[in-house]
Amino acid sequence: MQDTLLLVDGNKDKLQVLSENLREDYLIFTAENGQQALDMIERHSVRMIISDSHTPLVNGFDLCTRLKTSLNYSHIPFILLTAPMQSRLDGLKAGADACIETPFSPEHLKAQVSNLLNNRKKIRAYYTSYPLAHISTMAYSRADEDFLITLNKLIMDNIENPELDVELLAKLMNISVPTLYRKIKTLSDLTPNELLTVTRMKKAAELLAGTGYKIFEVAIMVGFNSQSSFGKAFLKQFNMTPTAFQHIKKEEQFSAGKFTL
């Protein structure tokens, strides 16, 4: 499935050129001013925004600032197309993930877009595959970090509850289910329920590695009603059974001289 980009520029000819350069690899939406861009973001899920700095109604700097300080949209990568060096500095101050000075080559823009999206995918993969990686590693802004830390605390506070789901999480976060879904999906590439399962598994790995709890006890502690379903979820997440994981960790502790009977 193609990533969706929103291109914002008051010049229709420039929009057309940008669209033609990127359309082969991405699904493209366009807006001719900053206000139209804000309206479109509310209706469509976009992976990245590329905006000229001097757009009508709401300029690119203000558009970037609004989005990067918004809980709903701070996670969206933002590339600002600027003119002189001072504009580039202003763009970085506004929170842009990257600033590209005009004129620029299509290859430069394509490389910047690809690098930003791929780096985020690598960070998401690192979080989901590495048991001890903290959820805040997926944050790209202070607003995102605050959101993820709050989300993680609420999950941990309720992790023993098998009924914890996206509806309950949204209620605890005091935001709508669609907003929570969109935010989590964009940050982690997971649905809220998938993120819940990953978080449960990572907590289980922590308990199995550093405590004397038995596997069935850990299963209950992370919200599973049966050891069998817990074992299947753990195997899917880490490509090994809880028993094998616990054995590896005990061997590591023994090798480090920390193992005690």
User: For the chain, what is the largest distance between any 2 Cα atoms, rounded to a whole number of angstroms?
Assistant: 73
Under a CB-based contact definition with an 8 Å cutoff, are residues 186 and 71 in contact? no
Homologous superfamily (CATH) for 4-124 = Response regulator (3.40.50.2300)
Task: Specify the CATH number for 130-256; select among 3.40.50.920, 3.30.70.270, 1.20.120.160, 1.10.10.60.
Answer: 1.10.10.60
pLDDT at residue number 84: 76
Give which of 37, 36, 38, 18 is closest to 28, Cα–Cα: 18
Closest CA to 164 of 225, 207, 215, 229: 225
Q: What are phi and psi of 10, to 5 degrees?
A: -75, -10
Q: Which two tokens stand for residue 34?
A: 């900053």
Give the C-alpha separation, 153 to 186, whole Å. Answer: 20
204 token code pair = 């289980």
What average pLDDT does the chain have? 89
249: how many CB neighbours lie within 10 A of its CB? 16
What are φ and ψ of residue 45, in 5° steps?
-90, 120
| Strand order through the sheet with 78-82 | 27-31, 4-8, 48-52, 78-82, 98-101
Burial class (CB in 10 A: 0-12, 13-18, 19+), 210: exposed
More confident residue, 65 or 130: 65
pLDDT in tens, 38-87: 999 988 889 999 999 999 999 999 999 999 988 888 889 999 999 877 67
Cβ pair 246, 217 in contact under 8 A:
no
Q: Which helix (H) or strand (E) holds 77?
A: none
Distances (CA, A) of 72 to 9, 76, 107: 23, 9, 31
Domain with CATH 1.10.10.60 in the chain: 130-256
What is the tens place of the pLDDT at every residue in 154-200? 999 999 999 999 999 999 999 999 889 888 888 888 889 999 999 99
User: Amino acid identity of 70?
Assistant: S
Residue intervals in the chain for CATH 3.40.50.2300: 4-124
Query: Is 65 or 126 the better-scoring residue by pLDDT?
Result: 65
Measure Cα distances from 223 to 80, 182, 201, 235 in Å: 44, 24, 10, 16
